[in-house]
Amino acid sequence: MRLGVKLLLVAVAVVAAGVMIGFYVSNLTTLAGSPSYALPVQNAAGGHPVVDLQIETVAAVGPKLSRNPDWVSYLVRDNGQWKRKTVWDLPAHATVHVTIYNFDGASGLRNPFLARPQGMDGNRILVDGKPTDAIDPNDASHTFAVPALGLILAVPGVPDSAKNPCGYAPCSVAKYDHRTIKFTFHTTTPGHFRWQCFVPCAAGWLDGFGGPMQTIGYMDGFLNVKA
């Protein structure tokens, strides 16, 4: 076989392998990633941007929202609908009012220190309307944490005795037992800030930290803070 033919065959094989790897990575990214969601911005007095972020945490995301229906997940309210999007666009130097509706039970924190809310206004959260400086770490169901902003809070779980727990998401606030957590924080300069849950809440995975804990679009995401 001539040298040119050999080189051509090698080149074709390399290109074919590259295309196959590209398809594989593309499929993986589609499965693992999350579309971004630009939160509607209201302008307060003086043009200061204010954002209202409503999210819910569910024990099982359900077949309507994911190919992994049993995975635990965060959802965001987008035009009145609960969507599985965990990459959120926010304006810089904005006030962000956050409401978390938690429909999941408690798992407990690996590090109880994280049950102390920090990084929001007053280093305090409202749990079902009651100002709280710390929750019992054993009652923690999830956390919402943006380490680069120093923001962290633990979300208490729905008691095991709840009469009307939500099975699969989306979970209606009016219909199912839940806990409501509210707090306010402020974005700073533009940047790309990851957020995550620190509770080992991935049922059935090694040490509770696989699957949805290691996949953007479930218990992890980004705050895209834009100028």
Partner 1 sequence: MAAADPNAAPAPPNDSTNHGLRVVVAWFVLSAIATPLVAIFVGHQIPPGNASAQGSEQVFDNTWMLSVITPVICLLVVFFVYGLGAFRATSDAVVDGPPLRNDSRIQVLWIVGTSVIVLFLAGFGTYELLQNGAGGGQGPHPIAVPSGSKFQVQVVAQQWQFTYRYPSLGGLESNQLYLPADTDVELHVTSLDAIHSFWAYELGVKADANPGVDNVVFVKTKGPGTFHVRCAELCGLWHAYMFNNGHVVDSGQFQAWAAKQQKLYAAIKPFMDKPESEGGAPYSKTYFPAPERRAG
Which residue from 82, 108, 106, 86 is spatially nearest to 175, judged by alpha carbons? 82
Q: Which CB atom, from 77 or from 193, has the smaller least distance to partner 1? A: 193
Say if residue 200 is preceded by a cis peptide, omega within 30 of 0: no
Using CB under 8 A as the binding rule, whether residue 110 contacts partner 1 is answered as yes
Of the candidate spans 87-95, 139-147, 161-169, 177-185, the one that interacts with partner 1 by CB under 8 A turns out to be 139-147
Smallest gap from Cβ 14 to partner 1, in A, equals 28
113 contacts partner 1 (rule: CB under 8 A): yes
Choices 23-31, 81-89, 112-120, 171-179 (CB under 8 A): range interacting with partner 1: 112-120
Binding partner 1 (rule: CB under 8 A), the pick from 63, 147, 159, 167 is: 147
**201 part of the interface to partner 1, by CB under 8 A:** yes
Q: Does 149 bind partner 1 (CB under 8 A)?
A: no
Sign of CA dihedral 190, 194, 197, 201: positive
Would you count residue 216 as binding partner 1 (CB under 8 A)? yes
Under the binding rule (CB under 8 A), the answer on residue 69 touching partner 1 is no
Is 109 a residue that touches partner 1 (CB under 8 A)? yes
150 is a site residue for partner 1 (CB under 8 A): yes
Minimal distance, residue 156 CB to partner 1, in Å:
13
- Would you state the structure tokens that stand for residue 114, as one six-digit string? 């994280």
Pick from 105, 182, 92: nearest CA to 142? 105
What is the C-alpha end-to-end distance of the chain, expressed in Å?
60
SS3 state of residue 53: strand
Rounded Cα distance between 141 and 200, Å, is 9
Among positions 84-103, residues that touch partner 1 (CB under 8 A) are none
Q: How far is CA 218 from CA 33, 114, 181, 203, 227, in A?
A: 9, 20, 19, 13, 26
Is residue 205 involved in binding partner 1 (CB under 8 A)? yes
**Which among 95, 87, 118 has a CA at the least distance from the CA of 187?**
95
| β-pair partners for 58 | 73
Size of the site for partner 1 (CB under 8 A): 41
CB distance 51 to 92 below 8 Å? no
207 counts as binding partner 1 under rule CB under 8 A: yes
Is 196 one of the binding residues for partner 1 (CB under 8 A)?
Answer: yes
Q: Which is nearer to partner 1, 97 or 110 (CB)?
A: 110
What is d(CA 131, CA 110) in angstroms, rounded to the nearest whole number?
Answer: 24
Which parts of this chain interact with partner 1 (CB under 8 A)? Answer: 107-113, 115-116, 118, 123, 133-134, 136-138, 140, 145, 147-148, 150, 152, 194, 196, 198-209, 213-216, 220
